[in-house]
Amino acid sequence: MTSNSLSKQLLLNQSRVTFSSAGIDSVAYSNTVSTPLVGPILKLVKSAEHTQVTLGQTITYSLTLHNTGNKDALVTLYDRLPEGTAFISNSVLRDGVPLPGTHPSAGIQLGIVSVQTLVRIVFQVILIALPKDLQLVNQGLADFSFQTDEGRKVTGSVSSNSFILQVQGVKVTAHLKANTEQTFIGDTVTYSISVMNQGSQTIHDAVATFRVLEGAVFVPGSVMVNEVYMPSSNPNLGIPAGSIARDTSINISFRVQITQVPADSQFTNQAFIRYQADHSYQEVDSNFVTINVIQPAISLSKQVNWLRATHGDKLFYELVVTNDAAIAVDAVLVDVLPKGVLFIWDSMQLNGQSFNGGRPEEIRLGTLRAYTQTTISFQVNVTTLVGELTTAELVNQAKVYYTFRLPDGRLVQETIMSNTVSTGLFSPIIQLNVDVRPDVIEPDETVEFVLELTNSGNWTADVILTDLVPMEATLLNVSIQIQGMPAASLFAGGLLYVGNIIPKARINITYLARISGYMEVSRIRGHAVAQYRFDLDGRTYRSEVRSNSYLIIVEDPDE
What is the rounded CA–CA span in Å between residue 378 and residue 376? Answer: 7
Q: Which domain holds residue 333?
A: 298-425
Contacts of 538 (CB under 8 A, 6+ apart): none
Asked whether residue 78 is assigned to any structural domain, the reply reads yes
477 and 415 in a common domain: no
* Lowest model confidence (mean pLDDT) among 33-42, 47-56, 116-125, 351-360: 33-42
> Average pLDDT over the chain, rounded to whole?
90
Query: Of the residues 166, 189, 214, which one is the last residue of a structural domain?
Result: 166
Give mean pLDDT, residues 71-81. 93
Same domain, 116 and 209: no
Q: What is the pLDDT of residues 388-437, one digit of tens each?
A: 877 889 999 999 999 999 988 899 999 999 999 999 999 999 999 999 99
**499 & 512 share domain:** yes
Q: Does residue 442 surpass a pLDDT of 90? A: no
CATH code at 540?
2.60.40.740
Please state, as a whole number, how many other Cβ atoms lie within 10 Å of the Cβ of residue 65: 23
pLDDT at 2: 39
**How confident is the model over 358-379, as a mean pLDDT?**
94
Q: How much is the pLDDT for 280?
A: 83
The amino acid occupying position 186 is G
Question: Of 400, 425, 450, which residue sits at a domain end?
Answer: 425
Is residue 340 included in any domain, yes or no? yes
Same structural domain, 421 and 455: no
What pLDDT score was predicted for residue 130? Answer: 80
Contact call for residues 452 and 508 (beta carbons, < 8 A): yes
Q: Counting Cβ atoms within 10 Å, is residue 536 exposed (0-12), middle (13-18) or buried (19+)?
A: middle
Tell me the CATH number at 135: 2.60.40.1530
Tell me if 246 is assigned to some domain: yes
Does the residue 559 lie in any domain? no
Residue 475 lies in a domain: yes
Query: Is a pLDDT exceeding 50 seen at residue 291?
Result: yes
Look at residue 74 and tell me if it is in a domain. yes
β-strand partners of 67: 42
Q: Do 177 and 158 sit in the same domain of this protein?
A: no
The answer on 176 and 82 residing in a single domain is: no
CB 58 within 8 A of CB 126: yes
Share of the chain above pLDDT 70, in %: 94
| Residue 68 sits in the same domain as residue 146 | yes
Number of folded domains that form the chain: 5
Final residue belonging to a domain, choices 394, 425, 456: 425
Residue 3 is predicted with a pLDDT of: 44
Name the pLDDT band for 5 (thresholds 50, 70, 90). very low
Asked if 287 and 302 sit in the same domain, the reply is: no
- pLDDT tens-digit series, residues 544-558: 999 999 999 988 766
- Residue 214 — pLDDT band, cuts 50, 70, 90? very high
- Interval 465-520: pLDDT, tens: 999 999 888 888 888 999 999 987 677 778 899 999 999 999 999 999 998 877 66
